[in-house]
Amino acid sequence: IIGIAFYQHTETPGLGGRITETWFKEQFAGKRLLPSGKGKQYFYLVPPGTSQAENQLDAITGATGTSRGVERLIDENLKDYLPWIAKQKAKGVI
């Protein structure tokens, strides 16, 4: 992953609105898309400082709903792009 950006949201400033903060977005950069397997996600947002795996990232304290929403957003939308990504890899583009 090169990075992640959120262009529009209706989250509460200081809580879920922190998804636009640099520290939150930067933790996605350089991550690999690990196969999620059936019933698993690509990334998990966990309490800050407790990640123990490459696909675990720091959640936003006090914004559990937002963190779960980001997990779902990534997991559900990646499914649409994975066939395209696989084709680009096969062509040597990425």
Average pLDDT over residues 10-35: 85
Measured CA to CA, the distance from residue 42 to residue 62 in angstroms comes to: 22
Average pLDDT over residues 54-59: 91
pLDDT reading at 15 higher than 70: yes
Give residue 58's pLDDT. Answer: 94
Task: Give percent above pLDDT 90 in the chain.
Answer: 28
Give residue 7's pLDDT. Answer: 83
Give residue 36's pLDDT. Answer: 59
Distances (CA, A) of 12 to 39, 69, 76: 30, 14, 23
pLDDT reading at 50 higher than 90: yes
Task: Give percent above pLDDT 70 in the chain.
Answer: 94
Query: What are the domain boundaries of the chain?
Result: 16-91
The reply to whether the predicted model has a pTM over 0.85 is no
13 Cβ neighbours under 8 A, 6+ residues apart:
none
Band of the pLDDT at 37, cuts 50, 70, 90?
low
